[in-house]
Amino acid sequence: MQSNVFSGHFLTRAEVAEVVGCAVSDVGRRLDLLAMAARWSGDRLYPAMQFDSDGNPTPHMEELLARLGGAMSDTDLACACTQPAAMLSGRTPLAWLRSGGSVDRAVQYLLAG
């Protein structure tokens, strides 16, 4: 795998499966991953920014996505997750969750957007 795989682009299902260590067929059923509606060569795409440098998905992502309940488009959510916010102590929502910040606060910020 390329060393820059986590630098802000998108991963295919096969790449996500390799990163998280699951079967390709299981990737689409995972509720802890943000999947984009956009497709490349018929394959769903996943923003690489939701994985840390070790390939771990962002903690509490399943709860965050469930609580947002489709209130934001996938594109808007992906963009918002990379924006530092004063409400989150200057962190992005993903960095906030990775540092142990509350899902409530991240949801509050994202819905206020």
Return the domain boundaries, the chain: 10-112
Residues 96, 103: Cα–Cα separation, whole Å: 9
Report the predicted TM-score, pTM, of the whole model to 2 decimal places.
0.85
pLDDT in tens, 31-77: 999 999 878 888 899 999 999 988 899 999 999 999 999 999 999 99
Query: First CA to last CA across the chain, in angstroms?
Result: 35
Q: Tell me the pLDDT band of 2, cut-offs 50, 70 and 90.
A: very low
Cβ neighbours of 103 (radius 10 Å): 18
Mean pLDDT of the chain: 90
Instruction: Give the residue ranges of DSSP H helices in the chain.
Output: 13-20, 24-27, 61-68, 74-80, 93-98, 103-112
Q: How far is CA 22 from the centre of its chain?
A: 17
Sole residue written with tokens 């018929």: 42
- Token reading at 45: 């795409």
Q: Reply yes or no on whether the pLDDT at 91 is more than 90.
A: yes
Which is it for the CA torsion 97, 113, 71, 104, positive or negative? positive
